Structure 1
Amino acid sequence: MNKINNLESKEDLHSYRKVALAACFGTFLEWYDFLTFATLAVVFGPLFFPSSDPNAGLLASLATFGVGMVVRPIGSALFGSMGDRIGRKPVFMITIAIMGLATVSVGFLPAYAQIGIWAPILLVSLRLLQGLSAGGEIGGSAVYLTEHAGNEHRGFKTSFLQLMGPLGILFSTLQIALLRNYLSPEEFQSWGWRVPFWLSVLLLAFGFWIRKSLEETPVFLEITKKNGKAESQLANNFKDPEIRKRMFLLFFCISSSGAILFFCVQVYVAIFLKTTIQLPPELVDQLSIGATLMLFPLTIFSGWLSDKIGRKPVIVGGVMLGAIFIIPAFKLLENYGIAYIQTNSASSLLGLSIVLVTLALALALVVGPQTALLAELFPAKNRNSAATLPHNLAAGWVGGLLPLAVTWINQVSGNNLTGLWYPVVFLLSAAIIAAMYLPETKLNLLNK
């Protein structure tokens, strides 16, 4: 009997690893495609939004990045509803195809110098397609993976999905760093920036192939077995007061906080160091890579910790750490960055690295348990739409617009740090509300 149980356990583990690989790679591809755009925001300014004022070009580029984030909730409403109705797997196939094709197309776009106003119009259009696709993928993948994970060690097992965003940034940043190293500035500005988008062809082919082998989640199959054809639950989510309350808590306390910290740590820090402090881009890329590598074990540890002490204390701790540390962190980055420019000292580099790792810790504490919590908050029949809409609304409207909002406030105020009060006040409010009202979901059964 024990041999049979062990055999079943090994088969279940093998099946879960296969599911996790397919889900995680697809999400990695979505994030790689989506965030390569952010990594190259400084390059896109003069190419697609030429202006005599460099700040205006940067703002236009960041606004285009933000546009993709703004439409994410539309994609989540569309594809989340489809996920509740036709299943999790078909939606994955659609979203990965849209994202991959849109991203590859960016690599072939003529610049403003070749086709004039059509260049930014086409760039924004492709960015909109990326946003719609990301809305269906990011959040839905959390539901898919969690429904396969079972109840034991769920926080630890699902925390790996949260590494795909940083891994996408890391892979994109490494490519760009290598291209800058081997190409002249003129070559990189002319065609080198297109290489990461061209590479999406290979990643798309592999991602599509591996996702074809995915199986539908046992939770969704059980729903259709009991109730026949599944129905869209999007409208019903807003009629149920408990689900409505949990959607708000997910939006405001969890997903918005995670998105703010993600874009502060993984996106805005690099922009700040390159444009405001004017550190060499190659050095900023190296610092970003180091901080991202540290984020991996911290995220897995946070997921494991949430299995031991609960999702709520880990997440609230991360949000509070972010609220307290963001402004001091950027002040330290400014001081250490200026000191490095003046002295080229190793101690300044060490200071920059320590600040980035501390910011990464705050992010890890929030996102490590997030995948499990995202699914645990809602009943199975409502889960895909109830989880993906607030999650993408937060990531798109709160997190995605953060670099643009902070940069604009800084420029209007004439102070490099004033705009950071926006994420600080948001995080502090989210920490207080989460401490008071967020339920502990660690013991919730997924098929309830």
Structure 2
Amino acid sequence: MSGFADTTQDDSSSPMTSEERKLIFASSLGTVFEWYDFYLYGSLAAIIAKQFFAGLDPTSAFIFALLAFAAGFIVRPFGALFFGRLGDMIGRKYTFLVTILIMGASTFIVGVLPSYASIGVAAPVILIILRLLQGLALGGEYGGAATYVAEHSPQGKRGAYTAWIQTTATLGLFMSLIVILTMRTVVGEAAFEDWGWRVPFVLSIVLLGISVWIRLSMQESPAFLKMQAEGKISKAPLSECFGEWKNLRIIVLALFGVVAGQAVVWYTGQFYALFFLTSVLKVEPSTANVLVAIALLIGTPFFVIFGTVSDRIGRKPIIMAGLLLAVVTYFPLFKALTQAANPDLARAQASAQIVVKADPATCSFQGSPIAREIDFTSACDLAKRALAQSSASYSNEALPAGGETVILIADKPVAVPTGQLVAEGNRFTPESAQSISAFRKELAAAMTAAGYPDRADPAKINKLEIVLILLVLVIYVTMVYGPIAAMLVEMFPTRIRYTSMSLPYHVGNGWFGGLMPTIAFAMVAQNGNIYHGLWYPIAIAGITFVIGMVFVRETKDVDIYAKFLYWHPNRLRK
């Protein structure tokens, strides 16, 4: 027994009509543009860190830039509640017309926002406000698009039809990478980092105009119109969603049994992999963007493939298989990625391991997103900070209280300056700065002698192997993400569907997924091992797999027009 009301209607054998194709294209294209806007920031996080967080040291600036990126994800559930409520009360069409306006305007302003050098601390403050607005808008976007398409889809084809919506995030990322790569090539790397990075943001105003025109031409969902004609529109969708445990239970199961794991797999495969290539393995950014774009281009059709297959065998088996594969293979895949992208680094890590020996009481938390360079004043902090900024993987060995910090590279010691570093205002004193500079030069020389490269050698990069590894990661993404829109739509009744499905989706993707790069890099900075951050997605995906296998039921045969679903046992009569 599925636990849901079944339906005997099945239009799975009929071909897609021209109207259905137009509807899916209109919904998907507008959403592609919206994801393009959102992901520009993530793709340019390293440059944005220099432009807007120049008051912090490089490691903290990058972590803070990622946190600002994640800020848009943190507010997504609030956007889901606000716009989901509107969508269930006034309709799907006009609600996600508003979301595209907010998203497009915010992105355009980022493109013309003065940097930290021009207006100081006001620059990152305004940037974060714009990211929050983008997050609120995106919180209302996905639920509207997925619900809209699903409610137009024939029974037996919801997985295939809604899978087109699932391609939009990847296509938006792909589009952002292509525009960024084109600008890098046209203006050169130096000019791009100076001003060229702004052009992709400014161009979003054109995409905004196209998106608004498309969405104005769309018709309201037939399910919503039918419910409106019958006078059954919810007057308080939030109360219906969260006021009864029977409904809230499904939201909780959707979050922890499906979406949380999907989210971390998505962001690991499509964002963390890119950050890992550029920031850890030191692959030149334009090369990394091309390789990721190729993998995305090859892998994107699998969203529709797995969505279509889910109409036949079910949503749950495909999603759970994707989660399990990610849990089992992430470590070997990322280690293989290191070998393919920077073989000199992989060889040095194997033959000249680095150990930091220090008194733990003298070591600060390296993953703090708000710390400044001058906040790290001990010998342990100096050692770990220098290694993190060199993207060196190291292990830690605790010394007794009072022990002097030392770095061992292939068992050869590198002395770390003893005593506390001294800061005056926002800078170290000249004596401390000189001591830091001398230590970093000595460390760099020792690492070079041990075979550690300062960047990936373009001549040694195995591009084919990298694309294949990235493609595997993208395939995992398509497995967990392709069928999920149909599954979420099928879990909730029409009158509260927009709100109910939006909240777990955006809590999962906004908090568990959106915070993934930030948390992972903070974990790496604190622990020292470049692969340590992978424990975060592995743990979340593993928990979701267990909960999903035990508690979540199959949904593919649900009649989404049914008046009530199974968690209303006292209202089953027609």
In the superposition, the TM-score normalised over structure 1's length comes to 0.95
Residue 470 of structure 2 is aligned with which of 356, 372, 384?
356
1:279 partner SS: coil
Q: Which moved more, 1:254-263 or 1:125-134?
A: 254-263
Q: 1:265 Cα deviation (Å)?
A: 1.2
- What is the CA–CA distance in structure 2 between the aligned matches of 1:255 and 1:295, rounded to whole Å? 21
Q: Which moved more, 1:251-260 or 1:35-44?
A: 251-260
Amino acid across the alignment from 1:30? E
Aligned residue for 1:61? 65
- What is the CA–CA distance in structure 2 between the aligned matches of 1:228 and 1:392, rounded to whole Å? 26
- What is the CA–CA distance in structure 1 between the aligned matches of 2:56 and 2:198, rounded to whole Å? 24
Question: Given the alignment of the two structures, is residue 309 of structure 1 paired with residue 313 of structure 2, yes or no?
Answer: yes
Q: 1:430 Cα deviation (Å)?
A: 0.7
- What is the CA–CA distance in structure 2 between the aligned matches of 1:228 and 1:243, rounded to whole Å? 18
Q: 1:31 Cα deviation (Å)?
A: 0.6
Aligned residue for 2:255? 251
Aligned residue for 2:538? 424
Question: Given the alignment of the two structures, is residue 344 of structure 1 paired with residue 459 of structure 2, yes or no?
Answer: yes
Q: 1:150 Cα deviation (Å)?
A: 2.0
- The answer as to whether partners of 2:257 and 2:551 remain within 8 angstroms in 1 is no
Residue 331 of structure 1 is aligned with which of 332, 335, 345?
335
Change (3 A) 1:381 1:228: closer
Q: What pairs up with 1:399-418 in 2 under 5 angstroms? A: 399-418=513-532
2:225 partner SS: helix
- What is the CA–CA distance in structure 1 between the aligned matches of 2:458 and 2:220, rounded to whole Å? 57
- The answer as to whether partners of 1:322 and 1:363 remain within 8 angstroms in 2 is no
Q: 1:184 Cα deviation (Å)?
A: 2.3
Extract unaligned runs of 5+ from structure 1: 1-5
- What is the CA–CA distance in structure 2 between the aligned matches of 1:329 and 1:253, rounded to whole Å? 25
Per-residue displacement from partner, 1:251-296 (whole Å, max 9, x unpaired)? 1232222221111111111111101110111110111101101221
Residue 197 of structure 2 is aligned with which of 176, 184, 193?
193
Aligned residue for 1:275? 279
Q: 1:426 Cα deviation (Å)?
A: 0.9
Q: 1:342 Cα deviation (Å)?
A: 5.0
- The answer as to whether partners of 1:320 and 1:431 remain within 8 angstroms in 2 is yes
Residue 490 of structure 2 is aligned with which of 367, 371, 376?
376
- What is the CA–CA distance in structure 2 between the aligned matches of 1:78 and 1:117, rounded to whole Å? 30
Amino acid across the alignment from 2:315? R
Q: Which moved more, 1:216-225 or 1:228-237?
A: 228-237
Aligned structure 1 segments of 4 or more residues deviating by more than 6 angstroms: none
1:128 partner SS: helix
Q: 1:93 Cα deviation (Å)?
A: 1.2
Aligned residue for 1:182? 186
Residue 438 of structure 1 is aligned with which of 552, 556, 559?
552
Change (3 A) 1:385 1:35: same
- What is the CA–CA distance in structure 2 between the aligned matches of 1:339 and 1:51, rounded to whole Å? 34
Question: Given the alignment of the two structures, is residue 145 of structure 1 paired with residue 149 of structure 2, yes or no?
Answer: yes
- The answer as to whether partners of 2:240 and 2:247 remain within 8 angstroms in 1 is no
Residue 118 of structure 1 is aligned with which of 119, 122, 128?
122
Aligned residue for 2:231? 227
- What is the CA–CA distance in structure 2 between the aligned matches of 1:32 and 1:342, rounded to whole Å? 31
Amino acid across the alignment from 2:465? G
- The answer as to whether partners of 1:71 and 1:132 remain within 8 angstroms in 2 is yes
Amino acid across the alignment from 1:72? R
- What is the CA–CA distance in structure 2 between the aligned matches of 1:185 and 1:29, rounded to whole Å? 25
More helix by share: 1
Aligned residue for 2:162? 158
Change (3 A) 1:52 1:315: closer
Q: 1:345 Cα deviation (Å)?
A: 4.1
- What is the CA–CA distance in structure 1 between the aligned matches of 2:256 and 2:547, rounded to whole Å? 9
Residue 205 of structure 1 is aligned with which of 205, 209, 213?
209
- What is the CA–CA distance in structure 2 between the aligned matches of 1:362 and 1:324, rounded to whole Å? 12
Amino acid across the alignment from 1:431? F
- What is the CA–CA distance in structure 2 between the aligned matches of 1:195 and 1:343, rounded to whole Å? 27
Aligned residue for 2:80? 76
- What is the CA–CA distance in structure 2 between the aligned matches of 1:379 and 1:75, rounded to whole Å? 20
Question: Given the alignment of the two structures, is residue 101 of structure 1 paired with residue 105 of structure 2, yes or no?
Answer: yes
Question: Could you tell me the percent identity over the aligned residues?
Answer: 35
Amino acid across the alignment from 1:244? L
Per-residue displacement from partner, 1:35-55 (whole Å, max 9, x unpaired)? 111000011011100146211
Per-residue displacement from partner, 1:36-92 (whole Å, max 9, x unpaired)? 110000110111001462111101110100111100011000000111111111101
- The answer as to whether partners of 1:139 and 1:387 remain within 8 angstroms in 2 is yes
- What is the CA–CA distance in structure 2 between the aligned matches of 1:264 and 1:57, rounded to whole Å? 21
Per-residue displacement from partner, 1:206-254 (whole Å, max 9, x unpaired)? 1001100111111111111222554231121123333222211221232
Change (3 A) 1:30 1:120: same
Change (3 A) 1:222 1:416: same
Change (3 A) 1:342 1:281: closer
- The answer as to whether partners of 2:101 and 2:208 remain within 8 angstroms in 1 is yes
Q: Which moved more, 1:226-235 or 1:274-283?
A: 226-235
Q: Who wins on radius of gyration, i.e. which is larger? A: 2
Extract unaligned runs of 5+ from structure 2: 1-10, 345-455, 563-574
- What is the CA–CA distance in structure 2 between the aligned matches of 1:74 and 1:14, rounded to whole Å? 36
Aligned residue for 2:509? 395
- The answer as to whether partners of 2:158 and 2:311 remain within 8 angstroms in 1 is yes
- What is the CA–CA distance in structure 1 between the aligned matches of 2:282 and 2:260, rounded to whole Å? 29
- What is the CA–CA distance in structure 2 between the aligned matches of 1:169 and 1:229, rounded to whole Å? 36
1:138 partner SS: helix
- The answer as to whether partners of 1:25 and 1:207 remain within 8 angstroms in 2 is yes
- The answer as to whether partners of 1:224 and 1:230 remain within 8 angstroms in 2 is no
- The answer as to whether partners of 2:89 and 2:233 remain within 8 angstroms in 1 is yes
Q: Name the Cα RMSD after superposition.
A: 1.7
Amino acid across the alignment from 1:367? Y
- The answer as to whether partners of 2:73 and 2:514 remain within 8 angstroms in 1 is yes
Aligned residue for 1:41? 45
Q: 1:443 Cα deviation (Å)?
A: 0.7
